[in-house]
Amino acid sequence: MDIKTATALRRLRLVSAPEAVSFLILLVCSVLKRTTEFDAVRPMGMIHGVLFILYVIFWADAWNRTKWSKKTAAIYFVLSVLPTGGFFADRKLKREAEDAVIAARARREGKVNA
């Protein structure tokens, strides 16, 4: 995996958890708006909107660089629209990055030993 691909995956990971948290907070704010006088939906909606847009941009960049299959790309996109999906995306991306590092080390050691 080259550095640009690793960076794209890292950016996607960095935004996935905050996007999931903002989605959950937005849901709580929506309930509070309807049950109390507390109304933070507008500012929280804006924060979540920015994080969601960043997620989609980083998702598209990661898809382009990693050459994911359409199924894998769709899974990561669907995870972005589920309330806790960002946490699962982060976990899957971390595993994918670790596997890529292990594969790169194996290739490097194979070249050194050859």
Per-residue pLDDT tens digits for 8-47: 888 999 999 999 999 999 999 999 999 999 999 999 999 9
The pLDDT tens digits for 44-101 are: 999 999 999 999 999 999 999 988 999 999 999 999 898 888 899 999 988 888 877 7
Q: Say whether pLDDT at 112 is over 60.
A: no
Residue pair 32/10 in contact (Cβ under 8 Å)? The answer is no
Please say whether the dihedral angle defined by the alpha carbons of residues 101, 65, 74 and 50, taken in this order, is positive or negative.
positive
CA–CA distance, 87 with 93 (Å, rounded to integer): 10
